[in-house]
Amino acid sequence: MKSLLTLPFVVALLAGCVATSNTAHQYQPTAVPDLAGYWVGSGGGQTQYLLLRPNGTGELCYESLSNYKTTPVTISGDKFVATGEGNFKRNADGTISNCVWGICMNFRKTENVAAACREWLKQ
């Protein structure tokens, strides 16, 4: 019985340890007017949609557990910041990359955004 009572506490503790929070607001954005617009990226088994604004801020939309979610993004120098700090790179072929925790998302410009992301990705 005692283990049954401690189970909810352990689950709540573990959920708090793996929860992610956005840190984009803690970084000074770098203007990227030439990159402004919609991007679609893939990597790590997931597709993500990105809106970049000319001032270096934006929104990232992705699917998680059959629900679409969004999180703010800041481009700060060579950093791509959302729920983690990734390495931002402009590629020679016109694409951009964000590499974090050993996984790289490669984004290309697009006009097509998933319907579930359109409501969040507004310029």
CATH number at residue 93: 2.40.128.50
Domain count within the chain = 1
SS3 111: coil
* Domain assignment present for 5: no
Q: Averaged over 119-123, what is the pLDDT?
A: 78
SS3 8: helix
Q: Averaged over 13-19, what is the pLDDT?
A: 36
In this prediction, residue 20 carries a pLDDT of 55
Looking at residue 87, the DSSP 8-state letter turns out to be E
How does pLDDT run across 17-67, given as a tens digit for each residue?
Answer: 344 567 777 888 999 999 999 999 987 778 899 999 999 999 999 888 888
Residue 88 belongs to what domain range? Answer: 21-118
* Domain assignment present for 8: no
23 with 83: CB under 8 angstroms? yes
* Domain assignment present for 79: yes
